[in-house]
Structure 1
């Protein structure tokens, strides 16, 4: 929609959100723009970062501790907020100092400071409006700050959480994971009348099947067949601005998009009013993680929650660092890739090597719990036995030691349970050669590289 239409619609948005945002502002102490970090690094505005149809401003924090190829976290503010305020009064900059990633803070540039998550342009890959501007910021950071394109993440609160859903839906090629604090599903806020506000969505009245929600995401980028980013969700049961039913709808959407069951495989309570569920795998970097807070309103993130998001991203040393967590597993001896035949998701399907093609049946993730997952975490690489010759297959993730693997510095991948090496049978280099366990022997058919 036009910028004028967006400016007019923001007034409607603020009427509904301002009361809900007030607790967030109070909880975070959003009263100024001075930095809270002790680092010598500072927030810098970047101009001329590329195509900017949303007329946004871009702010970047690159800590002194950043390595040669740092990860990137895009942190998106709420309505009435700014990029500098989100920098100063949330914990992401301090965590960047600790772990060495770059933080990009988009700044909405209209009255009311909300981001467009409603227009047809916003809900389409490279369609225009604010999401396209944020995508330009990511591309600029990768190209001009030597950032690692394989480790880009997005998070945000309220309007920023809705933007997080939109960015993961429309730009799966740019992001590895997201964390949405108090958001709504991708496409839930959609309008066609130039308004930026969808009352039915905000009040939790829109319910769809998982397939319908998933199709909204898939249709945002027709023809895209690459890996989909993981999603971490946060919501309070008493949220008065973006009602709690949206949390369940988000779970339906992202479990469908990532091809995992809606039934959680892990549930715990980190504190008395907090229920955490994980879908697809049990580890800290599950395909989908959902955090529900009993009795809490529109006031997230609270202290310590940003660190939980960074853990989910794998940027705190718990996994996902080094740019080698997700990607194809290359067989050094053949130049081919570890492959699930025929895109099968049937338990017990033995893996093989095949010409690398970048498809989901060749996209593996090494998790903090030593699993090698495929199909966005829907299945795990599984050793069917503990002796030489035992086939290596896929199976539902269950946390067993036969699904744990060591990625060793010498290029081998060894089973935690057996100590044996991942081996291309008969040292074959042909498409379709099967993969099994074998005694480690230093052969090129036991050499692998993830990423």
Structure 2
């Protein structure tokens, strides 16, 4: 069962096309998944790879979605699993970034100090560089940059929202754990990691989880301590978050990790649980609304295991594109 889940999560490779080092976004082919040379975006301390999909009718000020694969996967395989994003990019004017981790069984580093620290030189640093490059190259709207991911990709989505809150406006991720849950683990993959986090053994209060988030991105000099919702008394405006998890997931423990994520982001956004909406967005799903539902929601999928199907249309609604 575990092996089957991992294979499904990895998916199958999509057709890709290589590209010469582009001098501008206009040199990047449209309507195909294109590999972008690492020299294009600069900083790449962990040797990540990047594929990109942009529709032929992309216009000025597009949105950007950073889509992160799970362990044993790749950018192209994740593109295959989320093909609806490519179809939807035409009417909604966005491009999709599909990076690939080639380290630790293709898992994202969500454990080391270098990746759990802003500009620390880990995977998070490279992903931030990719987002900044794409935003500049395509003249994208910096207020419309979003992140999504499955399993390890969800874990890294939470980390990126913590280390680079200024880069993203919203998160929608599937089957993950709280940001910082694997801190100190010898690795981030099912093979290398301390399994305490995945098994639901790391429990904290919401305020304790919020402090973990705040500790990942020290304030730049001159940035004062803001007050009010979303700023967490630290000056950063954190992205809104929706997280999905299947209640039959025994690979990444649902009962605790789903709850711990909601506690973490509920504390960051200073919102508490208000209501459930059953059979939303589909039969068997329960939407858990926090506050007025504009900063944090959770989706619990009844009878669903580790691989929760991506709901791209719901993701786009959450992103506002």
TM-score (norm 2): 0.84
Partner of 1:75: 67
- Does residue 297 (structure 1) correspond to residue 305 (structure 2)? The answer is yes
Partner of 2:78: 86
- Does residue 43 (structure 1) correspond to residue 33 (structure 2)? The answer is yes
Partner of 2:105: 112
CA contact (8 A) 2:186 2:193 kept: no
2: distance between equivalents of 1:160 and 1:73?
13
Partner of 1:200: 196
Could you tell me which runs of 5 or more consecutive residues in structure 1 were left unpaired when the two chains were aligned: 1-15, 316-451
- Looking at secondary structure, tell me which structure has more strand per residue: 1
Partner of 1:362: none
Q: 1:297 to 1:194 in 2, by over 3 A?
A: closer
TM-score (norm 1): 0.61
Which among 22, 38, 46 is matched to residue 54 of structure 1?
46
CA contact (8 A) 2:111 2:180 kept: yes
Could you tell me which runs of 5 or more consecutive residues in structure 2 were left unpaired when the two chains were aligned: 17-28, 220-233
CA contact (8 A) 1:72 1:102 kept: yes
Over the aligned positions, Cα root-mean-square deviation in angstroms equals 2.0
Q: 1:235 to 1:194 in 2, by over 3 A?
A: closer
CA contact (8 A) 2:104 2:187 kept: no
CA contact (8 A) 1:265 1:281 kept: no
Q: 1:108 to 1:194 in 2, by over 3 A?
A: closer
- Does residue 288 (structure 1) correspond to residue 296 (structure 2)? The answer is yes
CA contact (8 A) 1:23 1:298 kept: no
1: distance between equivalents of 2:4 and 2:199?
14
- Does residue 153 (structure 1) correspond to residue 146 (structure 2)? The answer is yes
1:60, CA displacement in angstroms?
Answer: 1.2
CA contact (8 A) 1:157 1:301 kept: no
2: distance between equivalents of 1:120 and 1:102?
30
Measured against aligned partners, the alpha-carbon deviations of 1:375-421 in whole angstroms (never above 9, x if no partner) come to xxxxxxxxxxxxxxxxxxxxxxxxxxxxxxxxxxxxxxxxxxxxxxx
Runs ≥4 in structure 1, deviation > 4 angstroms?
16-19, 192-196
CA contact (8 A) 1:117 1:163 kept: yes
CA contact (8 A) 2:204 2:260 kept: yes
Which among 40, 57, 64 is matched to residue 56 of structure 2?
64
- Number of residues paired by the alignment? 287
Q: 1:17 to 1:121 in 2, by over 3 A?
A: farther
Measured against aligned partners, the alpha-carbon deviations of 1:235-257 in whole angstroms (never above 9, x if no partner) come to 00111211102000000000101
CA contact (8 A) 1:154 1:177 kept: yes
- Does residue 231 (structure 1) correspond to residue 216 (structure 2)? The answer is no
* Larger CA Rg, structure 1 vs 2: 1
1: distance between equivalents of 2:215 and 2:55?
37
Partner of 1:167: 160
Which among 137, 140, 146 is matched to residue 144 of structure 1?
137
Which among 305, 316, 321 is matched to residue 310 of structure 1?
316
Matches within 5 A, 1:381-420: none
> RCO greater where, 1 or 2, for CA within 8 Å and sep 6 or more?
2
2: distance between equivalents of 1:206 and 1:113?
24
Which among 3, 26, 34 is matched to residue 15 of structure 2?
34
CA contact (8 A) 1:152 1:174 kept: yes
1: distance between equivalents of 2:2 and 2:160?
21
2: distance between equivalents of 1:40 and 1:51?
25
2: distance between equivalents of 1:203 and 1:192?
13
1:269, CA displacement in angstroms?
Answer: 2.3
2: distance between equivalents of 1:257 and 1:170?
13
2: distance between equivalents of 1:106 and 1:297?
25
